[in-house]
Amino acid sequence: MSSSKDTVLLIEETSNGRESQKTAINILCLDITPYSQLTQFLLCSAFVFVCYLAYGYFLELIFSRPEVKPVSLYITLVQFIITMFLSYVESLIRNPIKRKVPIKTYALLAALTLGTMAFSNLALSYLNYPTQLIFKSCKLIPVMIGSIIILGKRYGFLDYVAAVVMCIGLTMFTLADSNTSPNFDFIGVVVISMALLCDAIIGNVQEKAMKQFQASNNEVVFYSYAIACVYLVIITGASGILTEGFTYCAQNSIKMYTNIILLSVSGYMGLQAVLTLVRICGATVAVTVTTMRKALSIVISFLLFSKPFVFQYVWSGMLVALAIYLNHYSKKNPHYVPMPLLQCWHYMQNFYQSEYRYLKIKSKIYADTV
């Protein structure tokens, strides 16, 4: 998912962006197979926008309060329990979960999932939601580094250009936030960076596990969140956060737990809508829709939650959007290099070869004369 609930959606696609096998198209329990592809796309896009806009709203509503900072892990625990329950209910409706991935792999995935979610939620106590969202959009950089180290992948010219542009946009956005936001704290940058680091590792570990053991998305989500719940119960219980969080939420239990439930349900529904959108139209279209949703979430955040605004947010956000576009354009053109750069490279190669031949001849003449 986008936002702070990212999960790898591994789907084998043919060249036209569809699945190699014809399957029923569903959004949760809604069967949209009989409809045209355009109607399916519009329905999925509507689900993505509505669900993730709601998710962003409730996320900022819950975690942006300073008093939530000490008990954020308890709220994350409740969120994990609800997500695990929703995943289990979905498996009962569709297909029962049969574990294929070893428990030790899920133990690692659960720790990374916990790190991603807990750090992302905690970051909202230090940063504006738009800044947190921009950081989450820039996970290309750590994912590239992680995939090079873990999976041994190689990237093309456009991927590296996208990473550089993304770094510039991210730096500009962070500087704008530090100058305008009264709640800005550099600790928030460190916290959200830790979340991105977990994102970089979890994405590659999930991809490797799902390819190796042919595990379903639902299986990975259920076991990752179930084991992460065990971790959280131990951590919050030993630190006293479990009791403090329960006491804090009990002060206004109906409102607090209603917001957490709506946060979890909207995030889970958004995940399923993105998954279906990838099945219908391919990953590139899905990422385009989710990127537009992120942009709209930032605009709504500025409108609903009073915060200072400067145009530097716009320019830096546009740089990040450009970087995301370049990254996904490179998926279709992995070997693309601009013609001027190619010509320059060929000129340098020819110059080097000619100079090398010249020096070789000169050295041979010199050796013969000596």
* Helix (H), strand (E), coil (C) string for 307-351: CCCCCHHHHHHHHHHHHHHHHHHHHHCCCCCCHHHHHHHHHHHHH
226 and 368 in a single domain? The answer is no
Q: What pLDDT score does 208 carry?
A: 75
235 and 352 in a single domain? The answer is no
Listed in sequence order, the DSSP H helices in 214-282 are 217-239, 241-250, 253-281
Q: How many residues does the chain have?
A: 370
Q: What are phi and psi of 303, to 5 degrees?
A: -80, -40
Sequence letter at residue 233: V
Helix axes 72-93, 37-63, angle to 10 degrees: 150
88 and 200 in a single domain? The answer is yes
85 falls within a domain: yes
245 and 344 in a single domain? The answer is no
Q: What pLDDT score does 49 carry?
A: 86
Provide the number of structural domains found in the chain.
2
3-state SS assignment for residue 13? strand
Contact between residue 268 and residue 24 where contact means Cβ atoms under 8 Å apart: no
165 falls within a domain: no
Indicate the pTM of the whole model: 0.67
232 falls within a domain: yes
262 falls within a domain: yes
Q: What pLDDT score does 21 carry?
A: 44
**Helix (H) or strand (E) run with residue 114 in it:** helix 103-123
271 falls within a domain: yes
pLDDT tens digits for the chain (370 residues)? 444 444 444 443 434 444 444 456 777 667 777 878 778 888 888 888 888 889 888 988 888 787 888 899 999 999 999 999 998 888 887 777 788 888 888 999 899 889 988 888 888 878 777 777 777 666 666 666 766 676 666 777 777 777 777 777 766 666 665 556 555 567 878 888 888 788 777 766 776 777 778 777 778 888 989 999 999 999 999 999 999 999 999 998 999 999 999 999 998 888 778 777 766 776 556 666 776 677 677 667 666 666 565 666 666 667 767 776 676 666 666 666 666 666 676 667 666 677 666 666 666 665 556 5
Q: What pLDDT score does 16 carry?
A: 44
**CA 10 to CA 7: how far, in whole Å?**
9
Tokens 């936001």, located at residue? 181
Strand partners, 26: 31
343 and 224 in a single domain? The answer is no
Task: Give CA 271 to chain center in angstroms.
Answer: 11
Sequence letter at residue 330: S
299 and 352 in a single domain? The answer is no
192 and 257 in a single domain? The answer is yes
**CA 129 to CA 59: how far, in whole Å?**
9
Q: How far is CA 26 from CA 41, 87, 165, 298, 315, in A?
A: 12, 15, 37, 29, 38
142 falls within a domain: no
Q: What pLDDT score does 173 carry?
A: 64
177 falls within a domain: no
106: its two tokens: 């899920």
108 and 220 in a single domain? The answer is yes
3-state SS assignment for residue 142? helix
Q: What pLDDT score does 249 carry?
A: 92
Give the β-pairing of 30-31 and 26-27: antiparallel
203 and 84 in a single domain? The answer is yes
Contacts of 276 (CB under 8 A, 6+ apart): 25, 26, 27, 32, 40, 44, 47
5 falls within a domain: no
> For residues 91, 293, 288 and 268, what is the CA-based torsion angle, rounded to 10 degrees?
-10
236 and 361 in a single domain? The answer is no
N-term to C-term CA, the chain: 71
52 and 200 in a single domain? The answer is yes
Contacts of 182 (CB under 8 A, 6+ apart): 308
Contacts of 3 (CB under 8 A, 6+ apart): 52, 55, 56, 59, 120, 133, 136, 267, 270, 294
Q: What pLDDT score does 209 carry?
A: 75
Domain region containing 349: 339-370
244 and 348 in a single domain? The answer is no
368: its two tokens: 């013969």
